[in-house]
Amino acid sequence: MLQTEQLTINIGPQHPSAHGGLHVEAVLDGEVVVDAIPHVGYVHRSVEKIAESRTYAQFVPYTARLDYLGTHLPVIGYVQAVEKLAGIEVPERAEYIRVIMGELSRIASHQLFIGSLAIDLGATTGLLYCMRDRERIMDMFEMTSGQRLLAAYMRIGGIAEDLPPEFLPAVRSFVRDIPKMIKEYQGLLYGNEIFQARLKGIGKLSAQDAIAYGVTGPNLRACGVSYDIRKAEPYGIYDRFDFEIPVGSNGDAWDRLMVRNEEIIQSGRIIEQALDQLPEGEIRAKVPRVFKPEKGKSVYHRIEGAKGELGYYIVSDGGEKPYRLHVRAPSFVNLMALPLVSRGGLVQDIIVNIATLDPVLGEADR
Amino acid sequence: MSSQQAVIEDISNTWGNQIEVLEDEFFAGVKVPLQILPELFRKIRDEHGFNYLANLTAVDHQDRFELVYHIYSIPDNRKLMVKADVDHDAPSAPSAVSIWPTADWQEREVFDLMGIRFEGHPNLKRILLPDEFEGHPLRKDFQMKG
């Protein structure tokens, strides 16, 4: 029998498939993965420490840089946590606009997921199709906030500015086109035999392991667990919308893709309902620039981010700045499952597993 | 009586006046002495279905550290917060990795940034900062330099 030696190779942190600064130490026996240990921290900025020296309002733009691929979601999570802590009421119109922007962010994040998965598997055109469609969302973010990628559009107590007149037709036509986009991805990617062979049965995760390792979001739902914070613990006005939670059955890479694909459609449904119900009125509550939440009060507020449970734990000491702020980042916790899904597979599947666990390192490293 | 209260009552009955029920408008919780944490965690996981440790972090109160756990039950959709004080001079706490594996990286993060040792952790190393880094930045007495 051929004697083989275990070999350790480093994937990343500088690697196209490392999705921005992820370092995976892969221990290989021939082509079989013995272990795949993720190392994080390459883009650590210590945002939790920065928060302690900023007022509550000043910290808003920093949160946009956590999950920069679904940029409105971490900002919504943060401002809602502060509003809860300080007892601030948000006007109805602002709540609806938050839902619209949040779901657009989710779609943008999932489209980039599909596109980057395609290019990781060598299907460059897939990336171009997804980027082309995501571009329309970026344009809408630019219309509303002047910023395409890091749109810190939310404010404590509401949103920064009202929607411009060209926004509503743009978002309506985008939502109308979602089925067409999905059909194109289907024809170009999902129907492709090689694409399917690279994903089906790869990187399986059981529901039990997923929960034990704290995996959340689409990655958890792909394992067949119907758990979505928008339904389990509705925040904002999510209890007013009718939508489904797509779940998978095998917990493999293919299911992780299919769940996200279905979520794009569901997010479209939510946006449509929000547009139909969008009321007129105020967009921001009157919140003083500097305010002081009650001393000793703390809050843990969590939302369904594009990657999973995104939570903020904030402690107030009665001052104008948070005494302590902790971000529970879904990408950070989800990455713990990488060795679990990679062991026993092949080297090439590590790339698939990184892509389908969908970490964004800005959030994992904070 | 909601089942949420039943959990807290069960904990109160087991440990009596060792625990303190927290008055928190957002999150029902208990504050417990450090040494009963493993037993408490095992009890709520096995008897009350709290299968998902969502968040684990620590706060530096300068005279003491406070560990905070946000724990959920996915099947019953319940939540519980557990807090415990840690000594400031020799900060050490029991690890929860054997109960919820997700505590692994979260405890490493607390160790890295706050400097609390978790006894029984299988691989307690820095996670976000380089191994040779000195100090723990989230402590209030950490000196920042440009």
pLDDT digits (tens, 9 = 90+) for B30-78: 888 988 899 889 988 888 889 999 999 999 998 999 999 999 998 888 8
CA distance B53 to chain A (A): 7
Contacts of residue A246, Cβ cutoff 8 Å, sequence gap at least 6: A221, A258, A259, A262, A263, A266
Report the percentage of chain A scoring pLDDT > 90: 57
Q: Is the predicted pLDDT of residue A191 greater than 90, yes or no?
A: no
The reply to whether B104 touches chain A by the CB within 8 Å rule is yes
* Cβ <8 Å between B128 and A299: no
Residue of A nearest to B81 (CA): A300
Contact residues, chain B, for A335 at CB < 8 Å = 105
Please answer whether residues A263 and A246 qualify as being in contact, where contact means their C-beta atoms are separated by less than 8 angstroms.
yes
First to last CA, chain A: 48
Tell me the average pLDDT across A143-160. Answer: 88
Residue of A nearest to B98 (CA): A212
Nearest CB partner across the interface for B127, out of A40, A84, A212? A40
The reply to whether B59 touches chain A by the CB within 8 Å rule is yes
Nearest CB partner across the interface for B52, out of A214, A299, A323? A214
The reply to whether B127 touches chain A by the CB within 8 Å rule is yes
Residue of B nearest to A42 (CA): B128
Task: Name the token pair of A200.
Answer: 């089906």
Rounded CA gap, A341 and A344, in Å?
A: 8
CA distance B16 to chain A (A): 25
Proportion of chain A in helix, strand, coil states, percent, rounded to 5: 50, 15, 40
* Cβ <8 Å between A41 and B51: no
The values of phi and psi at residue B116, to 5°, are: -100, 130
Q: What is the CA radius of gyration of chain A?
A: 21
Domain boundaries, chain B: 3-119
Task: Name the token pair of B60.
Answer: 């530096």
Do you find a cis peptide bond into A13, omega within 30 degrees of 0?
Answer: yes
Q: Residue A346 gets which letter from DSSP? A: B
Please answer whether residues B71 and B83 qualify as being in contact, where contact means their C-beta atoms are separated by less than 8 angstroms.
no
Mutate to test the interface with B, among A247, A298, A328 (most CBs of B within 10 A): A298
Rounded CA gap, A121 and A147, in Å?
A: 31
Contact residues, chain B, for A21 at CB < 8 Å = none
Rounded CA gap, A265 and A171, in Å?
A: 14
- Encoded amino acid at A129, one letter: Y
Report the percentage of chain B scoring pLDDT > 90: 37
Please answer whether residues A51 and A322 qualify as being in contact, where contact means their C-beta atoms are separated by less than 8 angstroms.
yes
Contact residues, chain B, for A302 at CB < 8 Å = 54-55
The reply to whether A315 touches chain B by the CB within 8 Å rule is yes
Contacts of residue A96, Cβ cutoff 8 Å, sequence gap at least 6: A237, A274, A277, A278, A279
Q: Is the predicted pLDDT of residue A118 greater than 50, yes or no?
A: yes
The reply to whether B16 touches chain A by the CB within 8 Å rule is no
Please answer whether residues A27 and A8 qualify as being in contact, where contact means their C-beta atoms are separated by less than 8 angstroms.
yes
**A294-307 pLDDT, tens per residue?**
888 889 999 999 99
Pairing of strands A154-155, A32-39: unpaired
Q: Is the predicted pLDDT of residue A327 greater than 60, yes or no?
A: yes
Q: Is the predicted pLDDT of residue B2 greater than 60, yes or no?
A: no
Q: Is the predicted pLDDT of residue B1 greater than 80, yes or no?
A: no
Q: State whether the Cα torsion A302-A303-A308-A314 is positive or negative.
A: negative
Contact residues, chain B, for A40 at CB < 8 Å = 127-128
Rounded CA gap, A286 and A158, in Å?
A: 9
Give the confidence band of A1 by pLDDT, cuts at 50, 70, 90: low
Q: Is the predicted pLDDT of residue B6 greater than 90, yes or no?
A: no
Q: Class of B3-119 per CATH? A: alpha beta
The reply to whether A56 touches chain B by the CB within 8 Å rule is no
Contacts of residue B6, Cβ cutoff 8 Å, sequence gap at least 6: none
Give residue for tokens 């919140």.
A287
* Cβ <8 Å between B54 and A309: yes
**A329-349 pLDDT, tens per residue?**
999 999 999 999 999 889 889
Tell me the average pLDDT across A271-287. Answer: 90
Rounded CA gap, A120 and A134, in Å?
A: 18
Instruction: Please give the pLDDT value at position A2.
Output: 66
Q: Residue A9 gets which letter from DSSP? A: E
Residue B3: in which H helix or E strand, if any?
helix B3-15
Contact residues, chain A, for B138 at CB < 8 Å = 48-49, 324
Q: Is the predicted pLDDT of residue B10 greater than 90, yes or no?
A: no
Tell me the average pLDDT across A351-362. Answer: 89
DSSP 3-state of B40: helix
Nearest CB partner across the interface for B68, out of A46, A213, A313? A313
Domain boundaries, chain A: 47-299
Nearest CB partner across the interface for B74, out of A48, A84, A227? A227
Q: What angle do CA B77, A228, A216 make, to 5 degrees?
A: 95
Contacts of residue A58, Cβ cutoff 8 Å, sequence gap at least 6: none
Q: Where are the alpha helices (DSSP H) in chain A?
A: 47-51, 60-64, 72-86, 92-120, 124-145, 167-185, 193-199, 207-212, 218-221, 229-232, 253-277, 330-334, 338-342, 347-357, 361-365
Of residues A2 and A73, the one with the higher pLDDT is: A73
| Average pLDDT value over all residues in chain B | 87
Rounded CA gap, B127 and B108, in Å?
A: 6
| Average pLDDT value over all residues in chain A | 90
Residue of B nearest to A213 (CA): B102
Instruction: Please give the pLDDT value at position B15.
Output: 81
**A43-91 pLDDT, tens per residue?**
898 899 999 989 999 999 999 888 888 889 999 999 999 999 888 889 9
CA distance A180 to chain B (A): 35
Contact residues, chain A, for B128 at CB < 8 Å = 40-41, 44, 365-366
Of A70, A61, A64, A68, which is closest to residue A267 (Cα–Cα)?
Answer: A70
Rounded CA gap, B40 and B3, in Å?
A: 17
Contact residues, chain A, for B77 at CB < 8 Å = 232-233
The interface predicted TM-score (ipTM) is 0.90
CATH topology assigned to domain A47-299? Cytochrome-c3 Hydrogenase; chain B (1.10.645)
Report the predicted TM-score, pTM, of the whole model to 2 decimal places: 0.90
Instruction: Please give the pLDDT value at position B146.
Output: 61
